[in-house]
Structure 1
Amino acid sequence: MATSSSTLPSLVVRMLRHGRLGPGLATLDLGTGAGGLAAYAARRLGDQHVTSIDVDPYLTEAASERLARMGLRPTFHAVDATAEIPGHYDRIVCTVAIRPGTGLRTVLGALHEGGRLVTTLAGTSLILTGWKHKTGELVGCIERGGAEFMLTRSGHDYPPALSELFAVASDEAGDETGTGRYPVMDVANAWEVRSMLEITTPGVQSRYSTHDRRRTLLLIHADGSWARAIGEWTDPPTVHQGGPRRLWDALERIRGRLNMEGALPLYGAHARVTPDGVVHLSRGQWSGSLGEE
């Protein structure tokens, strides 16, 4: 499994713009990768104001050498950002997806009062931006338009996927069989739908495949819940579900809302992050949270 990537330059620039950088502001690039964001920030602000961190020492060393050849020498650290972040900063721009809860709590702890955070939230395509208040809370919004970054990790690789449960979802009859209301979709690439699924049913994983006109979607959760939907192109699928939760039903509720209202209440939502890293979102009459135990 890949453990790093080079971010599209236009996305790097967009994340930096969200960060509202300025002269003299201590800026942290969280997720060194190839070093692109650190290079942009160092050129804009000066080396002495930019720090870049990554869990992989190979990436920080390679980026340091690469930028040095360009005459840029920001500070690099190889650290696990889910556990500790050296120093405190006026701006933190993340090019990895941060897990709400413990991971986001650590990031907030490294942000000065009055500082600004830009990050995507793990399991979603949502870009969260906000300012840190004297209460320790971050107050901001979910920006229009999404982004995809790799998850933060604590070691050389990510935890193994729930492959055994995917096997169950592929083969078992389940506790309940029915006909779905909507055609099978590739949830992973339907960013708004997947983001709302993460909010309503945190931790769901999916696999999508096609063969000729046959579409298959598997949904699983670490609590043992699973669903399998198989349908011919846009025909209503046959759905099998098992475990304590009905994952396909959760997905269909989201799709029903999307069809009825024409959009989901995510982009432009008000965001409040408490010091413990829990994200509270609201827009109109809707509200949701990420990172609660």
Structure 2
Amino acid sequence: MIWESSAADLASRATHRSSRWRGPVARTPRHLFVPAWWEAEGDRWELRDPVNEDQWYPAAYADRSLVTRVGALHADQAKPDDHPTGRPTSSATLPSLVVRMFQHARIDDGDQLLDVGTGSGYGTALAAHRLGADAVTSIDVDPYLTDAARDRLAMVGLHPTVEAVDGTGPLPAKFGQFDRIVATVAVRTVPPSWLTGLRTGGRLVTTIAGTSLIITAEKRADGAAVGRVEWDRAGFMHARRGDNYPAGASGLLAAAHEIDGEEITTGPYPVVDVANAWDLDSMLGVIAPGIEHAYRDEGYRRIAVMAHADGSWARATSGGGQMPTVHQGGPRRLWNILDDIRAHWLEHGELPARGARVLITPEGETRLARGKWRAVL
């Protein structure tokens, strides 16, 4: 099996035939950037460490994301009997989404690009093929990832600048300024260093953490940036500052499946799988960030559970076509917040976050507005 034919097939699926990104996808051996990965099987992670092309290429050249790090364990450092716990902390993003993020940046020949979130290095390789390696700088908080990506890029003859940098903090002064900044990690508020590092008229592309909302914005002379929430959608891992994510509300989420609520009511709307209802989840992520979700559909019964690190939790259970019984506890009523959003959706026919105007202040505060609706992140 020859990798060039697999990459060409991937390019035909991930790009339009006239796209300037088709060539970079067709010329990049993605399998070299993902030598091993994790796959979820039931309640645990299983290592995929292929020994031949027949096992490797179908996954490496599929248009899907491959999880390369769970908790603190990189797949290419793991042993077959390792089963890490926790959340995915790095991945090789599906190629079509990498291309779409670059397309949102409206990259031109001669642009200097900052790629935030090196990960496997595959997206960095596409950018280096498109712009030339000298025009691309890529950063990641994880030194192992940047070292591995630098080596893999060199294997295919590409030598962009790749450095271990916490993208949420100051950028090295030696980087200078960029025409485009594209982040394939999600942030709640835009780091001020990104605006400092962006030339006036330059364009920023990122996603809001805990949502599928893509922000594009162009820097003004006063140091702020203005733009919009795109109608497109994307989901990326949250930018992290350390080796792993905080513990979050996973313990409370598990407990909330069984405990009785301080308040028990009947909900006005059917039980919904919030995490897979992208617009609903995004609106909730703007208004009440940090909620974790679980959902089970048992055929005769559906159960949705929500929990937050502040101690708030909710469980909605329905069966037989009945409206759900809702148990809630803690300082906030999470299901009530969700129902308020659903009521707005029914009254207005849509939710206002997607398509909103965006203002990012020089300090990084992000303000969204659409019609009479306003939100400050």
TM-score interval, normalised by the smaller of the two chains: over 0.9
Can you list the C-alpha shifts for 1:179-228, whole angstroms capped at 9, x where unaligned? Answer: 11111111111111111112222222222223343221111223222111
Can you list the C-alpha shifts for 1:45-82, whole angstroms capped at 9, x where unaligned? Answer: 11111001111122112222222222211110011112
Q: Is the 1:183–1:233 contact (alpha carbons within 8 Å) kept by the matching residues of 2?
A: no
In the TM superposition, 1:1-293 aligns within 5 A as: 1-86=87-172, 87=175, 88-100=177-189, 104-232=191-319, 234-290=321-377
Helix, strand or coil at the partner of 1:250: helix
Q: Is the 1:215–1:233 contact (alpha carbons within 8 Å) kept by the matching residues of 2?
A: no
**Which deviates more from structure 2 when the two are superposed, residues 210-219 or residues 185-194?**
210-219
Rounded to whole Å, the distance in 2 between the matches of 1:225 and 1:2 is 24
Rounded to whole Å, the distance in 1 between the matches of 2:297 and 2:228 is 36
Rounded to whole Å, the distance in 2 between the matches of 1:162 and 1:230 is 20
Gaps of 5+ in 1: none
| Distance verdict in 2 for CA 1:233–1:121, change over 3 Å | farther
Rounded to whole Å, the distance in 1 between the matches of 2:295 and 2:146 is 34
Helix, strand or coil at the partner of 1:267: coil
Q: Is the 1:19–1:118 contact (alpha carbons within 8 Å) kept by the matching residues of 2?
A: yes
Helix, strand or coil at the partner of 1:157: coil
1:168 Cα deviation from its structure 2 partner: 4.3
Helix, strand or coil at the partner of 1:4: strand
Rounded to whole Å, the distance in 1 between the matches of 2:346 and 2:232 is 19
Runs of 4+ in 1 over 6 A off after TM superposition: none
Rounded to whole Å, the distance in 2 between the matches of 1:234 and 1:24 is 59
Rounded to whole Å, the distance in 2 between the matches of 1:259 and 1:233 is 23
Can you list the C-alpha shifts for 1:127-178, whole angstroms capped at 9, x where unaligned? Answer: 0001011222110000012101111111221111323322442333222111
The Cα RMSD (Å) is: 1.6
Q: Structure 2 length as normaliser, TM-score?
A: 0.73
Q: Is the 1:12–1:36 contact (alpha carbons within 8 Å) kept by the matching residues of 2?
A: no
State the AA in 1 paired with 2:349: G
Higher-Rg member (1/2): 2
Rounded to whole Å, the distance in 1 between the matches of 2:98 and 2:115 is 11
Q: Is the 1:54–1:81 contact (alpha carbons within 8 Å) kept by the matching residues of 2?
A: yes
State the AA in 1 paired with 2:111: L
| Distance verdict in 2 for CA 1:234–1:276, change over 3 Å | farther
Rounded to whole Å, the distance in 2 between the matches of 1:107 and 1:228 is 39
Helix, strand or coil at the partner of 1:134: coil
Q: Is the 1:21–1:91 contact (alpha carbons within 8 Å) kept by the matching residues of 2?
A: yes
The higher-RCO structure (CA 8 Å, 6+ apart) is 1
Can you list the C-alpha shifts for 1:71-115, whole angstroms capped at 9, x where unaligned? Answer: 211110011112232223221001111121xx5333323222221
| Distance verdict in 2 for CA 1:193–1:63, change over 3 Å | same
**Which deviates more from structure 2 when the two are superposed, residues 57-66 or residues 69-78?**
57-66
**Which deviates more from structure 2 when the two are superposed, residues 120-129 or residues 163-172?**
163-172
Helix, strand or coil at the partner of 2:338: helix
Rounded to whole Å, the distance in 2 between the matches of 1:186 and 1:156 is 30
**Which deviates more from structure 2 when the two are superposed, residues 124-133 or residues 208-217?**
208-217
**Which deviates more from structure 2 when the two are superposed, residues 204-213 or residues 42-51?**
204-213
State the AA in 2 paired with 1:91: R
State the AA in 1 paired with 2:133: D
State the AA in 1 paired with 2:192: R
1:233 Cα deviation from its structure 2 partner: 6.6
Can you list the C-alpha shifts for 1:226-282, whole angstroms capped at 9, x where unaligned? Answer: 111111275311001112221101101111222232221122211111122221111
Rounded to whole Å, the distance in 2 between the matches of 1:150 and 1:234 is 36
Rounded to whole Å, the distance in 2 between the matches of 1:208 and 1:107 is 37
Rounded to whole Å, the distance in 1 between the matches of 2:306 and 2:297 is 15
State the AA in 2 paired with 1:104: P
Helix, strand or coil at the partner of 1:97: strand
Size of the aligned set, in residue pairs, is: 288
1:120 Cα deviation from its structure 2 partner: 0.6
**Which deviates more from structure 2 when the two are superposed, residues 227-236 or residues 6-15?**
227-236
Q: Structure 1 length as normaliser, TM-score?
A: 0.93
Aligned-residue sequence identity (percent) comes to 52
